[in-house]
Amino acid sequence: MALGHSSAAWNGQALSRDGGQLAAFDPRLKLMLSIGFALAVVLVESTALKALFAVVGLSLCVIAGIPRAKLLRRIAALEGFMVLMVLLLPFTVPGPTLFSVGGLHASWTGLHQGVDILLTATAVVAGLMALVGSLPANVLGQTLASFGVPERLVALLMLTVRYLDVVGGEYRRMRNSMRARAFVAGTNRHTWRSVGHLVGMGLLRSIDRAERVTDAMRCRGFDGRYPILYPFRWQLHDTVAALASALVLIGVVMWSMP
């Protein structure tokens, strides 16, 4: 189910991840670079350059040590949406005819736009996966905080990271206890009511737990400030990488401008 899946995703995301060859770089650099990379991809107009960016993004994923299987699965999920659009756009965008099916004309312009969007999305997502996706979730929170993202939002992210698994576990235990009593989901009132109870109970338990968590925090002197530690150290190679990539990205964008 959805919840189980997302918690599994965070599990993979969060922890024992080393970031491959990119691990040595400061997370702040990675976050800035992923934004710069996405901007450059969107700004260049030529299809060839967008394709090049997509290749660079995917190579970064490999360098970042993202397992091939996971990389392929995520890219496949993205391209699933994209293929649909590449198939439909030629029929909806006017332009020189490419071919006709049963009175419908597919246009070159539409195909061109579709491919452009596909390459842009692939490049941006690959860049994000390699640079931001390789950060453990708590480091991402610390990085956002160091960029001045409001403390409350960061606390929300951190607490979500922390408790997704607990809530997911509670959900799985309740779900299993339903199955242990011979519950099989179907399309009937009993299923709807039972799933309604499951969701409702999940919410109630979450509220209850949130209150206990707050109590425990108050017991240790919580006064509304969520402490965030900054363990990063900006080093020379971060500066070099930042300057080099800024130069390349700006150069490519300027060069591609008419």
User: Using CB under 8 A as the criterion, which residues of the chain lie in contact with another protein when the complex forms?
Assistant: 14-15, 136-138, 141, 158-159, 161-163, 165-166, 209, 212-213, 215-223, 225, 227, 229-230
Nearer to another protein, 150 or 169 (CB): 169
Location of structure tokens 């130069």? 247
Residue 240: how many CB atoms within 10 A of its CB? 10
C-alpha–C-alpha distance, residues 252 and 180, integer Å? 60
From 80, 66, 64, 93, select the one nearest 122 (Cα to Cα): 80
Q: To the nearest whole angstrom, how small is the minimum distance from the Cβ of residue 173 to another protein?
A: 13
8-state DSSP, 38: H
Q: To the nearest whole angstrom, how small is the minimum distance from the Cβ of residue 154 to another protein?
A: 11
The two tokens of residue 110 are 């539409």
Q: To the nearest whole angstrom, how small is the minimum distance from the Cβ of residue 191 to another protein?
A: 30
The two tokens of residue 92 are 């909806």
Nearer to another protein, 38 or 158 (CB): 158
Nearer to another protein, 13 or 194 (CB): 13
Answer for the pair 27, 232: CB distance below 8 angstroms, yes or no. yes
Q: To the nearest whole angstrom, how small is the minimum distance from the Cβ of residue 181 to another protein?
A: 23
Nearer to another protein, 192 or 230 (CB): 230
Neighbouring-strand partners of residue 105: 100
